[in-house]
Structure 1
């Protein structure tokens, strides 16, 4: 799928060796493309290298079910109104089992009516963190009881990493193809 941005287009003949090394690592990894923030990050190979490894863990390696990871990602995309992040992860979330009703409520910036307690908990934790920049003791205890402490650490990592992704995509106006944008542009 064609990706557009306000960045200077990459010219493989002018890439530094470090850029080529990181590009190869990204293309040979589980993603297999420069979709999303990697189009920007490859302009800073050191950032791209560290971020792509963290991103691979956050997306593919946490203790959370893919459904919950993708819910956290969609929540973040909605919070930041990140067009490309939403376009990339909305079909993945649907395939992972996030319902259409939850997806549409998130896209509209509304609190979903969750049928599953674990999804409501991921949403409440993300909402608390993004709104107050904290998670109070009762919510923290509930999350640890439900997911375990290591998974809560990883969930916070997912929320933080995908906030970085959203900011990157928004600043550099990364767009995927010609599909209608999920969020109104400011």
Structure 2
């Protein structure tokens, strides 16, 4: 799955590593696809990160379509091969239009039919490009989703940037991934 980290051997896992793996596998993800076998080499970090990730993925207050759109924006921004590979089919199933996903993957600005999709894209893009969110976009997001969900959206974007950085740094691929969505 990666070229830069030693293979993880579950037969020689520490108690801390076993606890992390058990929690991930018994939770809503149910698998170790993604950064987890990289993080497992630092089990304390892995435990904190995977718990944050479970919150960011499943409990932000955003509908799944919008969360997955934000993840695709992040994957495209970081050109994260495994992140895109894992989340692209989830996003499509959640209702992200394929034309939107294709435009993101190709580095373009999608044409949005849904105002919420356009707002999530604008928010994430502004944050990634300028390291800030304009008052106009922020106010629209708070009016639409509320302060708590906007806080959670920022957390989701940060978490999936961490995932992308991990996958990219350690040259990790997703299980079953043979094609790369982004040129290297």
Query: Is residue 180 from structure 1 mapped to residue 176 from structure 2 by the alignment?
Result: no
Rounded Cα–Cα distance in structure 2 between residues aligned with 1:136 and 1:8:
43
2:2–2:170: 8 Å Cα contact kept in structure 1?
Answer: no
Which of 115, 120, 139 does residue 141 from structure 1 map onto? 139
Query: Is residue 22 from structure 1 mapped to residue 20 from structure 2 by the alignment?
Result: yes
2:119–2:141: 8 Å Cα contact kept in structure 1?
Answer: yes
1:17 CA drift (Å)? 1.1
1:107–1:183: 8 Å Cα contact kept in structure 2?
Answer: yes
Residue in structure 1 matched with residue 125 of structure 2 by the alignment: 127
Structure 1: gaps of 5 or more residues: none
| TM-score relative to the length of structure 1 | 0.95
Over 3 Å counting, the alpha-carbon distance change for 1:178 and 1:72 in structure 2 is closer
Structure 2: gaps of 5 or more residues: none
Rounded Cα–Cα distance in structure 2 between residues aligned with 1:61 and 1:39:
23
Show structure 1 runs of 4+ deviating over 6 A: none
| TM-score relative to the length of structure 2 | 0.96
| More off after superposition, 29-38 vs 98-107 | 29-38
Rounded Cα–Cα distance in structure 2 between residues aligned with 1:75 and 1:137:
21
Counterparts of 1:105-124 in structure 2, within 5 Å, are 105-124=103-122
Report the count of equivalent residues. 183
1:63–1:151: 8 Å Cα contact kept in structure 2?
Answer: yes
Superposed CA RMSD: 1.0
Residue in structure 2 matched with residue 86 of structure 1 by the alignment: 84
Residue in structure 1 matched with residue 153 of structure 2 by the alignment: 155
- Deviation string, structure 1 residues 18-65 (Cα, Å, up to 9, x no partner): 111111111111111111010111111011101111101111111100
2:66–2:117: 8 Å Cα contact kept in structure 1?
Answer: yes
1:142 CA drift (Å)? 0.9
